[in-house]
Amino acid sequence: MQYRRLGRSGLQVSELSLGSWVTYHNQVNVTAAREMLAAAMDAGMNFFDNAEGYASGKSEEVMGKAFKALKWPRLNYIVSTKFYWGLATEGAGINRKNTLNRKYLSQAIDGSLARMGLDFIDLVYCHRPDPHTPIEETVWAMSDMITQGKALYWGTSEWSAGEIRAAWDIAERHHLHKPVVEQPQYHLFHRRRVEQEYARLYEDVGLGLTTWSPLASGLLTGKYRKGVPKDSRGARKDMGFLVKALTDTARNTAVDQLVVVAADLGCTPAQLAIAWAARNPRVSSVITGASKVSQLKDNLGALEVIPKLTPEVLARLDEICQPVVA
């Protein structure tokens, strides 16, 4: 496992990390989470991603109880969470969901700290941009979290380059804590934002990336080439919005060819996809997901594939995927 600086910050995160979207609470209980976190740490992972909105806060509770059971020194691991969606259990209060206003953010961080049983959270993200709250208000609120010692670094997730630039400029102008990282979707079929839209930000503001969905929600494993398997993520009722993309004919045709490339490299399609995302030097960490230890260990096999991604192999992947890249 290699470690990379989070943008221009001094924080070093493992090149592969473990996330909890969909799995924790829904598929993974505290016992299973403890086993996977232990296996991940043994393999060198030091960064674990969560969000307030995952399973309406239950994901944070599961991860927090697992941390408590593991009794790791707090200096040894990095944990993140994200704010914007609010909790379904809180009702439809206008200041409780889909917002980044100061009232919501000041209470959201306290809720996450309580659910995870932590004194501080290393990294907090604005989970989506909020067009109804001035960016200046959001920047001040996020910076205050750090000043108060409730968080150490902050960043954004799925913000446009213009929005990130605006937030950074406001922080610079007022001598506030700046956003250091963005968490965008990034995989073989979804790359323009990372590779083109954000291009100026890497050098100009030192933006780091912790990318999500390296397997395109499972599409790049090859399991959806003949439909939606009963035990897959796409078969879940709450994941129905993914089915159209997972069964896209053009992309699954490309996956057929990616399977061949993976075989030539002696790896699985999933390992190839994760390695491809991790080989980008702009990516600080690739967030992977797993519902059991065996999946986690299989994903870790991507580390051995990264050195095999020669310019010739990358050109071959580009030729296969370019027609359907977003």
- The catalytic site residues sit at 54
> Which pairs count as long-range contacts for 30-35, CB under 8 Å and 24+ apart, including other chains?
30/62, 30/65, 30/66, 30/69, 32/291, 32/292, 33/62, 33/63, 33/65, 33/66, 34/66, 34/69, 34/70, 35/293
Interacting residues of 61 by C-beta distance below 8 A, sequence separation 6+: 25, 115, 116
Could you give the 3-state DSSP secondary structure of residue 8? Answer: coil
The Cα 273–Cα 259 span in angstroms is: 10
Could you give the 3-state DSSP secondary structure of residue 106? Answer: helix
In eight-state DSSP terms, residue 177 is: P
* Greatest Cα-to-Cα distance within the chain, rounded to the nearest angstrom: 55
The Cα 27–Cα 38 span in angstroms is: 17
Q: CA dist 72 to 81, 96, 125, 293, Å?
A: 19, 33, 24, 19
> DSSP of 220-250, one letter per residue?
GGTTTTTS--TTSGGGSGGGGGGHHHHT-HH
Residue closest to 59 by CA, chosen among 24, 22, 23, 29: 24
- Residue 48 bridge partners (DSSP): 18, 79
